[in-house]
Structure 1
């Protein structure tokens, strides 16, 4: 059975500033782990997240839900300037598609 920290969203990237690889976790944006290899950076951030989860549990703090476990409706509201709304409406009309479809297309790019 997978541990809860195995379900989080991890990423390893190069940090030019630190001249090392940095391990990150999307659900814990304040945490990072620097290492000389990508493998060590991933191992380090996973261990750090596990320790933080344990500490949060002991202190009865709310532990973030892994993004991978969340359900998404596919709906969200976005506020845009009226001129952008008009421009999108025109593009949708000229293309013969709905405003929703053109906005979805642009967001997915």
Structure 2
């Protein structure tokens, strides 16, 4: 979180069809409480981007923290994962069967799932 200048176009936007609303809905990962409904995906995105601009300007004006875009954050490539003993054992066995380190095995499984 920061109060430095942030390019709001770098936030993570997504537009999907909402069956419940019978319209397109735009969302922003960094602002999960915000969304915008519209008849076209372009209008939904435009509406939400304008709303995010307003919210960011308001946060800055009040001296509050502005979320940093996920796209500009630094990622080390490492994270810790806690899992149960049984799952850990099973994954270690599967990795060994494929002649891979546990890290290589889990990385491949995650990449294949995304």
Summarize the alignment of residues 89-104 of structure 1 with structure 2, pairs less than 5 Å apart. Answer: 89-104=92-107
Task: Say whether residues 1:88 and 2:91 are aligned partners.
Answer: yes
TM-superposed CA distance for 1:43, in Å, is 0.2
- Alignment deviations for residues 17-65 of structure 1 (CA, whole Å, 9 cap, x no partner): 1111001111101100000110000000100000000000001110000
Taking the aligned partners of 1:11 and 1:94, their CA distance within structure 2 comes to 39
Give the unaligned 5+ runs of structure 1: none
- Which of 43, 46, 51 is the aligned partner of 1:48? 51
Aligned residue-pair number: 107
Q: CA RMSD in A?
A: 0.9
Taking the aligned partners of 1:58 and 1:74, their CA distance within structure 2 comes to 35
TM-superposed CA distance for 1:8, in Å, is 0.6
Per the normalisation by structure 2, the TM-score is: 0.91
Give the unaligned 5+ runs of structure 2: 1-5
Per the normalisation by structure 1, the TM-score is: 0.95
Structure 1 stretches of 4+ with a deviation exceeding 6 A read none
Taking CA–CA contacts closer than 8 Å with sequence separation of 6 or more, which of the two structures ends up with the larger relative contact order? Answer: 2
- Specify the alignment match of 2:76 in structure 1: 73
